[in-house]
Amino acid sequence: MLALLIFSVILGGIVAGVTGIGILFWVVSVFVFICGLPAALITGFISGQVKYSQDRADLREKKRQIAENEREIMRTIREEERDDYNFFENNQISYNSDAHSKQYFYRSGPKARDKNGKFISKK
């Protein structure tokens, strides 16, 4: 639009300068501007549509990248939780004696006991 206005002013100035009639400046400038206006509007609309389509494509790509990053973070969190759970399960030792379940956590085995069944301290 601005380019059309500048072009029409330049063309009107050239015509007025060559003919020497000042009123032709306004006549030619307005005529060229009005005749070129539909083309400028259509061109502006098409380039606006192309720009809009590109902006939408960029936005879709950005949303896809964000979703992919979020899935990667959630996958990492699930793996860490699974590793923590497996670590807990692997370090848990269960013994069944006299119909009572006893569990010892994070130990390599049960505590040592004497012949009466009391725990022996590790002094």
CA distances 50 to 16, 42, 44, 57, 60, Å, are: 38, 12, 10, 10, 15
- More confident position, 102 or 44: 44
pLDDT digits 0-9 by tens, 72-119: 999 999 988 887 777 666 655 555 555 555 555 555 556 677 777 777
Domain that holds residue 29: 2-84
Q: How many domains does the chain divide into?
A: 1
Is the pLDDT confidence value at 65 over 60?
yes
Does the predicted model carry a pTM greater than 0.75? Answer: no
Residue 96 maps to a domain: no
Q: Is residue 102 situated within a structural domain?
A: no
Instruction: State the pLDDT at residue 88.
Output: 60
Residue 8: is it exposed, middle or buried by C-beta count within 10 angstroms (0-12/13-18/19+)?
A: buried
Indicate whether 30 belongs to any domain.
yes
